[in-house]
Amino acid sequence: MQISPETQLFIREHSSDDVRTLALQAKKYPDINMPTAITQIAGRQVAAEKIPSWREIEEIWYPKHLSLEQCSSEITARYKARLFQGDSLTDLTGGFGIDCSFLATGFKSATYVERQEELCEIAAHNFPILNLNHINVRNEDGVAYLQTMSPVDCIFLDPARRNEHGGKTVAISDCEPNVAELEALLLSKANRVMIKLSPMLDLSLALKELKHTQEIHILSVNNECKELLILLRQTSPAEIAIHCVNLLTKGTQEEQHLVFTREQEQRSQCTYTDSLGNYLYEPNASLLKAGAFRSIAAAYPVRKLHPNSHLYISDSFIENFPGRIFRIVNQCSFNKKEVKENLADLKKANVTVRNFPATVAELRKRLHLTEGGDTYLFASTLNNGQKVIIRCEKV
């Protein structure tokens, strides 16, 4: 791919413009390669949020929308780079190269493998600009390359999670390549293997399919589950550590991190409650995904509302709880009279349902509420079976 000086200037001058409007104005700029310009402008706009450290590097080339949509964000790529270091790395599913570029900083040599020629051309252009001259770009099929490659310290791969009709897939067997079928081959070629999978994947099923799992890392960004990382080694531990991580881009905290094992979860003591305290806690998305429900109560002085109500309360404020924290204002039952007495003044609220016989939409309709505002309502069930609506404000 070549970008003419005229098109490069156009990209700089229109970097913040609406790309749909520019596409309709293509005839006004006959000397500009408009498809290329639009791809690059759109890429820069996405990168400003997703890859902030690349924002000011004008020489970076960006791929078409789908490849950019599917790639990691900088914050998750940097987290992965903390887990993986050594002499040699091979990324078998290179894509746009975000993960490879950040992972490669921890290795003396790295190989990027990608079967799409256009993405290889972009990677070969971008890596030197990022001072990553030790990355070797290979335009090959990842599985074919794996079969003949020399052993390395670490292998990374991010299987495609879209089926032949373009829909998203969440099972290992539905991903391409199927890493469960490749597990033995991968571990014959590297001491350590990192696999990035859909956060929607069933953890129990993944552990059954991948026999050499050493660690699991569930990554959320600002409480939105983004990635499931599985680390493989030839020798697996007796109990697999599950890392629940919430990476924060807002506020003073940078990260919320809790580690547990499934065996610890079964052994952990958890106190359930028939009444509320002063504070309510909602675990972050990674913890909910991992099922660390009893482990949370073991790690923090909180009480759980009900075995199936994944909300917690305390009398005293717990500042470092890994999730959202609310101050309880009042509570009421689902009784029409109590609802009127306690919630009649509300016109809008943020509504969450946990183990409750009504949906968010049904509650909104019944309570005549619109979305938003500073009030938070949690509809749930206490340990004695009582249905409650808890009115809160964010701490």
Residue 162 CA to residue 90 CA, distance in Å, equals: 23
What is the model's pLDDT at position 25?
A: 86
Round to whole Å and give the CA distance between 222 and 31.
43
pLDDT at residue 16 in the model: 86
Say what the pLDDT of residue 162 is: 61
User: If you search the block for the tokens 């073991």, which residue do you land on?
Assistant: 298
Name the nearest CA neighbour of 354 among 327, 382, 319, 323: 382
| Local structure of residue 237 (DSSP, 8 states) | P
Ramachandran area for residue 249 (φ above 0: left; ψ -120 to 50: alpha; else beta): alpha
In DSSP terms, which residues pair with 220 in a beta bridge? 225, 246
How far apart, in Å, are the Cα atoms of 332 and each of 66, 87, 343, 386, 390?
47, 60, 9, 10, 7
Question: What is the CA 335 to chain-centroid distance, rounded?
Answer: 39
Please give the model's pTM, rounded to 2 decimal places. 0.90
Among 137, 129, 119, smallest CA distance to 1 is for 119
Strand order in the sheet with 370-381: 303-306, 309-314, 279-283, 323-332, 387-394, 370-381, 348-353
CATH class of 72-261: alpha beta
Structural contact between residues 311 and 280, judged by C-beta atoms closer than 8 angstroms: yes
Q: Where are the domains of the chain?
A: 5-50, 72-261, 268-394
Name which of 48, 56, 24, 28 is nearest 38 in CA terms: 24
Tokens of 359: 């949906």
In sequence order, the 6+-apart residues with CB closer than 8 A to the CB of 195 are 156, 157, 158, 159, 179, 210, 229, 230, 231, 232
Mean pLDDT by 10 residues, the chain (395 residues): 85 87 86 89 88 90 77 93 96 96 98 96 97 98 97 95 61 87 97 93 88 96 94 91 93 84 95 96 96 95 96 96 96 88 90 95 91 95 96 95
Residue 65 in tokens: 């929308």
